Amino acid sequence: MSIQARFRLARQDFVLDVDLILPEQGISALFGPSGSGKTTLLRCIAGLERADQAVLEVSGNCWESRQQGIFLRPHRRPIGYVFQEASLFPHLDVRGNLEYGMKRTAQRRVAWRQAVELLGIESLLDRRPENLSGGERQRVAIARALLTSPRLLLLDEPMAALDYQRRQEILPYLERLRDELSVPMIYVSHAMDEVARLADHLVLLDQGRVTASGPLTQTLARLDLPTARSEEGGVVIDATVGAHDDIYHLTRLDFPGGNIRVTGRPLALGHATRLRILARDVSIALSPQEDSSILNRLPARIVALADAEHPAQVMVALDARGTPLLARITRRSRDQLALVPGMNIWAQIKAVALLA
């Protein structure tokens, strides 16, 4: 099952023209510069914009088809919509706000208790929105959206108004929704660190058009896309905790084709986690260089080379026994090492971020 979304909408200076198939599970991130049409696309999905051409099918149900004259009105679409700023009713306490969401539906897909527990808002139920922090307000807004029993959750930069600390507090709740509920989410974000942590599927939008749509790990590794070449270009690897080294206080994270050691973490063996390795933190050597202090080095093959944003640098796409990696090195080093596609090299990894 999938979500099919095809919309064409023309405004004076802007045309949205997308044709997407999104998975019906997990989080699909919509990523793109300001004005690329992310909010407009969400509004089309919610039925808040009338597109010139439109097809929207969710779980095999047609919600909109211009050709067939089908247009399910916004309030009839089983959608939960969470905005940048939580729009809670100020005169109702948290319980009242949640109950309001529940009244809209007869068919319950997420139970009250489940929503309250997933978002950790039990102790907030008697408070008014004015007495909540920005992060708490957003958690309540997400719980309220879940209690409308949505078949699809739309999140439009739900953390944009929050500071770094508050964002870090909310991320685990979003991860729990992703892992424990079967409600697909479309998540708009400007922040690649959020996308890298949360998303399973990545859609890149630019000037109203889709420039890429695919599984996150594969899409981030594509050298032909601007995400790879940007300052924050890099890959995400899904790994599991393989071993703890109590002598050196290191944790080994395993993934197909290799492993990486990070500073010891209190994570259970077998625990699923996600790593992010930025291209700027990967260098290339022709030999394993065991006389270096770098902890992590992986044998890899060069798949492709491409220009980086800065003329001094080049991007290198690597295949580390099935796991894609990106490296950003100087053009000078590329020439000195005579790097070409197909060569076997060693990828030296200087820094790894553990995302979850």
Ligand X SMILES: Nc1ncnc2c1ncn2[C@@H]1O[C@H](COP(=O)(O)OP(=O)(O)OP(=O)(O)O)[C@@H](O)[C@H]1O
Nearer to ligand X, 35 or 214 (CB): 35
Tell me which residue has tokens 């808040």.
48
Alpha-carbon distance of 339 to 192, in angstroms, equals 29
* Residue 243 phi, psi dihedral angles, 5° rounding: -165, 155
To ligand X, the closest distance from the beta carbon of 226 in angstroms equals 15
Nearer to ligand X, 209 or 331 (CB): 209
To ligand X, the closest distance from the beta carbon of 86 in angstroms equals 17
Tell me which residue has tokens 């902890």.
295
Nearer to ligand X, 208 or 234 (CB): 208
To ligand X, the closest distance from the beta carbon of 48 in angstroms equals 10
CB 284 within 8 A of CB 345: yes
Do β-strands 53-58 and 201-206 pair in parallel, antiparallel, or remain unpaired?
A: unpaired
CB 260 within 8 A of CB 250: no
Nearer to ligand X, 11 or 108 (CB): 11
Nearer to ligand X, 193 or 238 (CB): 193
Nearer to ligand X, 177 or 203 (CB): 203
Alpha-carbon distance of 133 to 75, in angstroms, equals 29
Report the interface residues with ligand X, using CB under 6 A. 11, 13-14, 32, 34-40, 190
SS3 96: helix
Half-sphere exposure of 15 (CA within 13 A, CB side): 5
To ligand X, the closest distance from the beta carbon of 85 in angstroms equals 13
CB 64 within 8 A of CB 72: yes
* DSSP alpha helix (H) spans, 119-211: 134-146, 164-180, 192-198
To ligand X, the closest distance from the beta carbon of 44 in angstroms equals 9
To ligand X, the closest distance from the beta carbon of 154 in angstroms equals 12
179: amino acid identity, one letter: D
